[in-house]
């Protein structure tokens, strides 16, 4: 038996572009897997985290506990600030996986993703990457596949060294991998000749940091949350779109013109 799909489920490129411009993220839940989120920063005034969770290990078992609205590095606060700027009505949940050196372990990240999926998040932002050593690939593939079959969208930062440097999870085909472009805040670039095919503003981005400070930062870590915000905009107008369709619509919308999304 064949299935019928309506225009409401399959928006046209024009409709998708309009949603990318006009959507505000309402009703969409975004999981930020990072170093924590400092909710006391003025840029995040009024933000109530949907979840505030940290995942650590004592060397034997995984420890999942409530976090305290803090950030151990500053990176996660910057990511959350960008997402809130782009999709102001989206819900944001903190899943702290990174430590004070902005590092983590693959099994801790996997548990954060499992927590986010089980709690009903629509989009997962991963502003980090692991070099493409074969022994780590399957650790990432397991949760990437779990997110995909659950209809959860994963946006990840590509390498800051080169788009040809394999870093996971950005290089998985079901993931929206994002590199750095010197462009406007509302622009999305599509680069069909690159392994990380999307790019957004990631040069000299003014971001919130620890202790109420602001910093100018450059890197794919700060381009990825901008695209996460774009995905939330699209989903807030067309909820229920599958990850492969959203990626295709982003590609078409970015390739149709150089206009801002």
Domains along the chain with CATH numbers: 20-256 (3.40.50.200)
Q: Quick one: pLDDT band at residue 226, thresholds 50, 70, 90?
A: very high
pLDDT for 7 equals: 45
pLDDT surpasses 50 at 175? yes
Long-range contacts of 238-242 (CB under 8 A, 24+ apart): 238/8, 238/9, 238/11, 238/15, 238/16, 238/19, 239/27, 239/28, 240/9, 240/151, 241/9, 241/11, 242/151
The pTM assigned to this predicted structure is: 0.94
* Cβ within 8 Å of residue 64, ≥6 positions away: 53, 54, 55, 111, 115
């Amino acid at each position: 038996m064949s299935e019928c799909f309506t225009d409401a489920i399959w928006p046209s490129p024009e409709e998708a572009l309009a949603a990318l411009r006009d959507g505000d993220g309402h009703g969409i839940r975004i999981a930020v897997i990072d170093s924590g989120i400092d909710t006391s920063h003025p840029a995040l005034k009024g933000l109530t985290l949907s979840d505030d969770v940290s995942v650590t290990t004592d060397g034997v078992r995984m420890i999942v506990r409530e976090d305290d609205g803090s950030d151990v590095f500053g990176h996660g606060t910057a990511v959350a600030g960008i997402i809130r700027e782009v999709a102001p009505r989206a819900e944001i949940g903190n899943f702290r996986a990174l430590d004070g050196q902005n590092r983590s372990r693959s099994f801790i990240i996997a548990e954060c993703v499992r927590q986010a999926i089980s709690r009903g998040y629509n989009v997962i932002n991963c502003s980090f990457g692991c070099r493409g050593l074969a022994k780590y690939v399957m650790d990432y593939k397991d949760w990437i596949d779990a997110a995909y079959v659950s209809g959860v969208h994963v946006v990840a930062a590509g390498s800051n060294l080169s788009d040809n440097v394999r870093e996971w999870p950005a290089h998985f085909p079901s993931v929206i991998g994002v590199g750095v472009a010197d462009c406007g805040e509302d622009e999305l670039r599509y680069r069909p000749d690159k392994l990380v095919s999307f790019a957004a503003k990631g040069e000299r981005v003014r971001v919130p940091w620890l202790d109420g400070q602001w910093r100018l930062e450059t890197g794919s870590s700060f381009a990825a949350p901008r695209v996460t915000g774009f995905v939330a905009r699209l989903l807030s107008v067309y909820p229920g779109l599958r990850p492969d369709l959203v990626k295709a619509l982003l590609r078409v919308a970015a390739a149709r013109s150089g206009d801002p999304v």
